[in-house]
Amino acid sequence: MARGIQAEIKQNKPFDSLEAEAFLSLLRTADQLQGLVAEMLKPHGISPTQYNALRILRGAGAQGLACREIGERMIHRDPDITRLVNRLEGRGLVTRSRGRVDRRVMKTRITAAGLAMLRGLDRPVAEFQRRLLGGLGAARLRGLIRLLEAVREIPSRRQVFLGGSLAAAAKAGAEKNGYRSAEALRHPKAPPKGATQGRHLRRARAEFFSRLPGKNSVGQ
């Protein structure tokens, strides 16, 4: 009988690998936690990303941070940090001014109102976290932290995967079918004699996707 993540997403057949099951379990867990955080913060009129940005700015102190620096420290990457800061500034929770050393850099600093909001949230957030995870116990929490740290180290080497195996798969598929590089998947060159361009391009694409790792791991 299906159990765990397999039962939750109503997947009938077993996962192709333990890695696939662990990967989807992480994604689903993160999504559920994010949803709970959003619900907890909603009565206070603030979103998880806004709360995260305010916490970052409180830690930065009076020197403030540029938008790029805020983005680098966010838990969830926001594609438009400037818009996020604009919203916080519109509510009077942050202020922006040009740097004293480099006038080209706009520094964002938390205001007294922003600090007051965080102070009002510190205890509810801590209590929320204890209710959510405290039942696991200290030993299991430490083990979980170590495992998650190990997982996060893998994307730090993402060039090994994106620049290596996936690119190699695309290149191999393209070259096997007469193209000089995977760039031909987007900008095809003239196909070899006796082959139509459309058929040739479909074959190259099929070869590329057939080499992607875990391509059948998600879904039914």
Lowest average pLDDT, out of 3-7, 48-52, 72-76, 115-119, goes to 3-7
* The pLDDT of residue 10: 75
- Reported as a single tens digit per residue, the pLDDT across 69-114 is 999 999 988 888 999 999 999 999 999 988 677 677 889 999 999 9
Give Cα 124 distance to the centre of its chain.
26
Domains of the chain, by residue range, sit at 5-42, 45-153, 159-210
Cα–Cα distance, 6 to 23 (Å, whole number) = 12
The highest-level CATH class for domain 45-153 is mainly alpha
Cβ within 8 Å of residue 84, ≥6 positions away: 49, 50, 53, 78
As a whole number of angstroms, the distance between CA 115 and CA 99 comes to 21
Query: In the predicted model, is pLDDT for residue 8 greater than 50?
Result: yes
The Cα 117–Cα 48 span in angstroms is 13
Alpha helices of the chain — where are they, by DSSP H?
A: 5-8, 18-41, 48-60, 67-73, 81-90, 112-133, 138-153, 158-160, 167-176, 197-210
Task: Give the rounded distance of the alpha carbon of 171 from its chain centre.
Answer: 27
